[in-house]
Amino acid sequence: MTVDRGWRLGLRTVALAYLALLLLVPVGLVFYRTFEHGVGAVWDSITTPAAIHAFQLTLEVTAIAVPLNTLFGIVMALALARGRFPGKALLDALIDLPFAISPIVIGLSLILVYGVHGWLGGALADAGVQVIFSVPGIVLATVFVSLPFVVREVTPVLREIGDEQEQAAATLGANRWQTFWRITLPAIRWGVAYGVVLSVARAIGEFGAVSVVSGKISGKTETLTLLVEKRYGNFDLAGAYAASALLAVIALGTLLAMTLIKPRREEGET
Amino acid sequence: MSATAVTPRPGRTPAAARPARRSSGALGVGIATLWLSVIVLLPLAAVVVHSLDGGLGAFWDAVSSRQAVAALRFTVLVSLLAAAINVVGGTLIAWVLVRDQFPGKRVLNALIDLPFALPTIVAGLTLLALYGQKSPLGIDVALTQTAVLLALLFVTLPFVIRSVQPVLIELDREMEEAALSLGARNVTIFRRIVLPNLAPAILSGAALAFARAVGEFGSIVLISGNIPFKTQVSSVYVFKLIESDAPTQAAAVSTVLLLVSLLVLLGIRAVGRRWELRHDR
Amino acid sequence: MISVAGVTKKFGDYVALDDVSLDVPDGSLTALLGPSGSGKSTLLRIIGGLESPDAGRVEIHGEDATPITPQKRGIGFVFQHYAAFKHMTVRDNVAFGLKVRKRPKDEIRDRVDELLAIVGLAGYQTRYPSQLSGGQRQRMALARALAVEPKVLLLDEPFGALDARVRADLREWLRKLHDEVHVTTLLVTHDQEEAMSIADQIAVMDNSRIEQVGAPRELYDRPATPFVMSFLGPVSQVGEALVRPHDISLTPHAEGDGAREAMVSRVVHLGFEVRVELMLTDGSAVTAQLTRTEADELELSRGDIVWLRTAGSATLPV
């Protein structure tokens, strides 16, 4: 249907107004407020020891969680796309769970398993390993919330390209690993890349679950997102904005990566 | 994020599924399943089990306490409202992004994913800047139910849009042209041809938005004030229970929240499959 | 009668139609025939109102239809990929045009049943398009277009997406339908056999222009340009002229003027038809087509020298 001019402009205006009021203006405002008092103040704010530690911790946790989930994601995607086994549909549905669960509930669930009185927590404590209120807990929470992304991005790509190339490689004498490394992996690399970008964004941005399991110990278990909350709670609005701006810049970087990778992912192959 | 996780994909023909690979393939699946179980299923099981720690009676008390009920009712209602607004707004925006042309459209299209990429706590702060105390607009809705709605609209923005866009792009324009040639006006074409074909995607996006909204925490916690019986959502209530060292009660309310989300998720899958079976070929 | 006068259409720099004019007589079945990119679909869509021309006009039954929207032109349009409303049943699909015109329910129901019977889909009312074969979907699309009693029926490569066998069947069926229903029909196709077998009149298009318009026989026997000649049937080049392979006669000895010497390079037996590939003294290759009887009489085999003459109406200088 070719919508006539009046309607077209009207719809466009409403859409743009909605997006402006909900998305664009608030984000723009935060950047404005952040740099209102000059870049220097902002820089100081994000280079305090607490801030630097928070940044490092966030990156560290992400650097552990994302590769693990990427590995899991690829293996699981291969199983879902190529395999045939009982319970496949159930597995497929279960992978979506982290999307559907409140981060607070995720945090609670981890406490109930790894907390001192939890199912495994007692034994771990005896072995000298503290999970809750310590970095491992944060890692577990981050792994939980970013679990599905790589699987969800790679599975459709695998289905799309089919396994004929892999079959051809097999007839030419390649063993399983060679086939995977030389044929499958290159074919799915953009799907993996996209999934990784999404996982990284999710990992860096996690707040609710980490809120519960970390204990928010400054300089030890305080991630960047927790730092924002703390500063706000201490009426350090400028500090909160500064940390937020940093996170927002990272988010925009993620968006850029997403935009660049998305079209390649849809090509399926190279 | 793949909001198309549970939307039916336009019928593709996959290569015939090979018989499950032998030992090393099965090993891989086994390890991956183990990973899933340890990371996700085990903790969730713990929640459900712990919720019954004090027996069914204690469970019922925990979920039927005045505050719990008030929080749940508010959470569900405001999430439904957010989903409903997204149905209209999201479809409209998806339409404009697919069918219209204007400078900056590509940038705008990319920015739609911002709520996926932005940490929720930052989202809350962002909305506070525009709609809270020091708002340049002169309005202050902080600590009100409207604030919660705004936060939810922000974080669920991309769901319906991203769900509808691919379907709209693949929509057979010739169907609309056929309707045109048969004498239908634009409004009729939209109502009878376009909308029915978008409906599954809209519903799927709305359901995902709802599931997300029901559990949302970070964006709400700053802007709503978490006033019990007024602006307190279930996730905040659970948080409070955890902090007051009442894990069993927290687990009970969490179980209810889990059930709500799960029902919604399973619902979408079922609807999606039915549509695919009937109409895609 | 449909009258197209001086229509030009560009998409950016690409010229789809260049000053095209055509008259389509009432009640006829006219084919727009040409290779892809020739502009035939664009012309059809302009006639239907789905595109508007940059220049020129379209007249339907004497009225200037150019500014009229497709809804009001009284046309029926059938698409190559059926454009079935996949979310509606067959009945609702066919009824759509009538519902939009707010006809009473009983009338709609009767008309739908009647049409489905005509197209051979009686009993399929409650099925969905996804449950139909390609040929059935196209018949449904035809019923849908006919439901609103259009003045003109426009078909855009309607059989293009179907198997060869189904295509041949449906083509014949369309001709019979046309003979019964007598709606002015315009059919776009790239298949010359299709056009030749069912059209009353063919407009051959190439490169945004109409090359020739006429009855099938006329176009075949008296083509106006080399393009038309080669598009509508096989051609062989003998010297400076284009001839039909079956207009070439071969004799064992030179007879009469204009006979040329040629050597047989290959003889292909295709049942009743025999194709003889020849090489002329100047080195060029020519293909002649003989009946089995003629070939048997000559007893041709590779390396034989024969004499070649052309006869028949279709000859064109290159």
pLDDT tens digits for range B62-115: 999 999 999 999 999 999 999 999 999 999 999 999 999 999 999 999 999 999
**How far apart are alpha carbons B269 and B246 in whole angstroms?**
35
Name the percent of chain C lying above pLDDT 90: 58
**pLDDT tier at A2, thresholds 50, 70, 90:** low
CA distances from A188 to A73, A92, C4, C123 (A): 12, 19, 53, 48
Mean pLDDT check: name the lowest of C23-32, C108-117, C299-308: C299-308
The answer to whether residue C188 scores a pLDDT higher than 90 is yes
Find the angle CA(A90)-CA(A91)-CA(A93) to the nearest 5 degrees: 65
Q: Which residues of A176-197 are buried (b: 16+ CB within 10 A; e: fewer)?
A: eeebeeebbeebbbbbbbbbbb
Is the CB of residue B189 less than 8 Å away from at least one CB of chain A? yes
ipTM of the modeled complex: 0.89
The answer to whether residue C6 scores a pLDDT higher than 80 is yes
Name the percent of chain B lying above pLDDT 90: 61
Is the CB of residue C158 less than 8 Å away from at least one CB of chain B? no
Residue B234, min C-alpha distance to chain C (Å): 39
DSSP single-letter state for residue C264: E
Domains in chain A: boundaries? 1-36, 38-267
Query: Mean pLDDT for chain B?
Result: 86
Domains in chain B: boundaries? 55-279
The answer to whether residue B12 scores a pLDDT higher than 60 is no
Stretch 214-253 of chain A: residues touching chain B, C-beta under 8 Å: 224-225, 228-229, 232, 240-241, 244, 247-248, 251-252
Q: A229 Cβ partners below 8 Å, 6+ apart?
A: A207, A211, A240, B121, B221, B222
Q: Which of A33, A83, A163 sits opposite B20 (nearest CB)?
A: A83
Phi/psi of residue A154, each to 5°?
-85, -35
**pLDDT tier at C171, thresholds 50, 70, 90:** very high
pLDDT digits (tens, 9 = 90+) for B137-191: 878 888 889 999 999 999 999 999 999 999 999 998 999 999 999 999 888 999 9
Query: Mean pLDDT for chain A?
Result: 89
Q: How far is CA B16 from the centre of its chain?
A: 33
Stretch 169-198 of chain A: residues touching chain B, C-beta under 8 Å: 176, 198
Segment (H or E) for C261: strand C260-270
Q: How far apart are the first and last CA of chain B?
A: 27
What is residue B22's predicted lDDT score, i.e. its pLDDT? 47
Q: What is the largest CA-CA distance in chain C?
A: 78
Pick among A2, A14, A36, A108 to test the B interface (most B CBs inside 10 A):
A108
Tell me if A80 sits within 8 A of A151, measured CB to CB.
yes
Q: Return the residue matching tokens 């599905």.
A: A148
DSSP per-residue codes, B118-175 = S-HHHHHHHHHHHHSTT-TTS---TTSHHHHHHHHHHHHHHHHHHHHHHHHHHS-HHH
Mean pLDDT check: name the lowest of B21-35, B72-86, B260-274, C71-85: B21-35
Pick among B100, B121, B170, B180 to test the A interface (most A CBs inside 10 A):
B121
**According to CATH, what is the number of the domain C236-317?**
2.40.50.100
Q: Which of C69, C130, C145 sits opposite B278 (nearest CB)?
A: C130
Q: A268 Cβ partners below 8 Å, 6+ apart?
A: A157, A160, A161, A187
What kind of architecture, by CATH, is found in domain C2-227? 3-Layer(aba) Sandwich (3.40)
The answer to whether residue B280 scores a pLDDT higher than 70 is no
Residue A123, min C-alpha distance to chain B (Å): 16
What is residue B14's predicted lDDT score, i.e. its pLDDT? 43
Considering chain C, tell me which residue range(s) the CATH 3.40.50.300 domain(s) occupy: 2-227
**pLDDT tier at B11, thresholds 50, 70, 90:** very low
Give the residue-averaged pLDDT of C116-121: 92
Indicate yes or no: CB of A258 within 8 angstroms of CB of B110: yes
What is residue B157's predicted lDDT score, i.e. its pLDDT? 95
- Structural fold of domain B55-279: MetI-like fold (1.10.3720)
Tell me if B122 sits within 8 A of B114, measured CB to CB.
no
Pick among C45, C85, C138, C148 to test the B interface (most B CBs inside 10 A):
C85
Stretch 39-68 of chain A: residues touching chain B, C-beta under 8 Å: none
Q: Which of A12, A75, A153 sits opposite B28 (nearest CB)?
A: A75
Q: Which is more confident, B75 or A4? A: B75
What is residue A1's predicted lDDT score, i.e. its pLDDT? 63
Paired strand residues for C11: C14
Paired strand residues for C261: C307
What is residue C145's predicted lDDT score, i.e. its pLDDT? 93
Closest CA relative to residue B123, chosen from A91, C208, A27: A27
Q: Within a 10 A sphere around the Cβ of B14, how many other Cβ atoms?
A: 14
Pairing relation of β-strands C63-64 and C236-238? unpaired
**According to CATH, what is the number of the domain A38-267?**
1.10.3720.10
Considering chain C, tell me which residue range(s) the CATH 2.40.50.100 domain(s) occupy: 236-317
Residue B73, min C-alpha distance to chain A (Å): 16
User: Identity (one letter) of the amino acid at C314?
Assistant: A
Closest CA relative to residue C8, chosen from C309, C279, C210: C210
Alpha helices for chain C (secondary structure H): 40-48, 90-100, 105-118, 134-147, 164-181, 192-198, 216-221, 226-232, 292-298
B115: left (phi over 0), alpha (psi -120 to 50) or beta: alpha
Stretch 186-205 of chain B: residues touching chain C, C-beta under 8 Å: 188, 192-193, 196-197
Segment (H or E) for B67: helix B66-99
What is residue B17's predicted lDDT score, i.e. its pLDDT? 40
What is residue C299's predicted lDDT score, i.e. its pLDDT? 86
**pLDDT tier at C255, thresholds 50, 70, 90:** confident
The answer to whether residue B18 scores a pLDDT higher than 50 is no
What is residue C304's predicted lDDT score, i.e. its pLDDT? 87
Mean pLDDT check: name the lowest of A241-245, C230-234, C312-316: C312-316
The answer to whether residue A45 scores a pLDDT higher than 70 is yes
**How far apart are alpha carbons A244 and A231 in whole angstroms?**
10
What is residue B196's predicted lDDT score, i.e. its pLDDT? 92
**How far apart are alpha carbons A226 and A210 in whole angstroms?**
8
Residue C268, min C-alpha distance to chain B (Å): 41
What is residue B9's predicted lDDT score, i.e. its pLDDT? 43
Count of pairs with CB atoms under 8 A, one residue in A, one in B: 287
Tokens of C45: 């869509």
Residue B276, min C-alpha distance to chain C (Å): 10
The answer to whether residue A182 scores a pLDDT higher than 80 is yes
Stretch 200-239 of chain B: residues touching chain A, C-beta under 8 Å: 208, 211-212, 214-218, 221-222, 234-236, 238-239
C207: left (phi over 0), alpha (psi -120 to 50) or beta: left
Q: Which is more confident, A269 or A21? A: A21
DSSP single-letter state for residue B18: P
The answer to whether residue A145 scores a pLDDT higher than 60 is yes
What is the number of residues in chain C? 318
